[in-house]
């Protein structure tokens, strides 16, 4: 696919054009260039995204890293950073967006991001954390308060009852 076709596919998936989506497209381009990764039909590639912004849609579409398969993980630092891991080669890379030139308007920023070389857009390094484990399946447990099921690792103990996060009362915060 050409860069134009990749962009059009990403826009169709995301719903609109924006600089954030362009960041995600370029992060995928960088991961493919630097790690040689291909689209992951299963969990061969893992992405840890430190943001939940528009670019994550491009990552899911273009790399095959999805929340449903468990090979995209949200690490909520708020940074425009992506770490990619290749399970086959053992290689990894972390990229963080360089500060923006405030002189560009939104459209100019988007075009710059799409056209600039990845080394001009991102700072590259190694992730500060290990390769995440493979996705696991968890037993579903019924909440003893509302009766709804949730995976066991999301349940809490409250007043001697196993409860879901919606029913959990966090007494450490005085509630």
Neighbour-count burial for 7-42, b at 16+ CB within 10 Å, e otherwise:
beebbeebeebbbbbbbbbbbbbbbbebbebeebee
- What does the CA dihedral 173, 49, 122, 11 come to, rounded to 10 degrees? -120
Is the domain covering 3-125 a CATH 3.30.70.270 domain?
Answer: no
User: Which residues, in sequence order, are CB contacts of 163 under 8 Å at separation 6+?
Assistant: 143, 144, 145, 146, 155, 156, 157
More confident position, 52 or 175: 52
Average per-residue pLDDT in the chain? 94
pLDDT at 117: 97
More confident position, 130 or 174: 130
Q: Residue 15: pLDDT above 90?
A: yes
In degrees, rounded to 5, the angle at the alpha carbon of residue 14 between the alpha carbons of residues 21 and 98 is 10
Q: How far is CA 153 from the centre of its chain?
A: 21
DSSP state of 133: P
pLDDT at 166: 92
Q: How far is CA 10 from the centre of its chain?
A: 15
User: Average pLDDT for residues 33-53, to the nearest whole number?
Assistant: 96
Q: How far is CA 126 from the centre of its chain?
A: 16
Domain spans, the chain: 3-125, 140-173
Q: Which residue has the tokens 């995976």?
A: 151
The radius of gyration of the chain's CA atoms, rounded to the nearest angstrom, is 19
CA–CA gap between residue 150 and residue 154 (Å, rounded): 7
Each residue's pLDDT tens digit, 71-89: 999 999 999 999 999 999 9
């Amino acid at each position: 696919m050409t860069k134009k076709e990749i962009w059009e596919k990403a826009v169709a998936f995301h719903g609109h054009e924006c600089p954030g989506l362009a960041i995600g497209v370029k992060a995928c381009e960088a991961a493919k260039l630097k790690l040689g990764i291909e689209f992951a039909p299963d969990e061969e590639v893992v992405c840890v995204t430190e943001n939940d912004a528009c670019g994550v849609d491009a990552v899911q579409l273009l790399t095959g890293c999805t929340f449903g398969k468990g090979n995209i993980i949200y690490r909520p630092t708020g940074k425009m950073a992506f770490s990619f891991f290749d399970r086959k080669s053992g290689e990894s890379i972390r990229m963080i967006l360089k500060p923006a030139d405030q002189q560009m308007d939104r459209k100019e920023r988007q075009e710059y991001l799409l056209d600039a070389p990845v080394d001009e857009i991102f700072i590259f390094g190694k992730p500060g954390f290990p390769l995440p484990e493979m996705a696991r399946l968890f037993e579903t447990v019924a909440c003893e308060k509302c009766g709804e099921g949730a995976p066991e690792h999301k349940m809490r103990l409250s007043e001697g009852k196993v409860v879901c996060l919606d029913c959990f009362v966090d007494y450490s915060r005085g509630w």
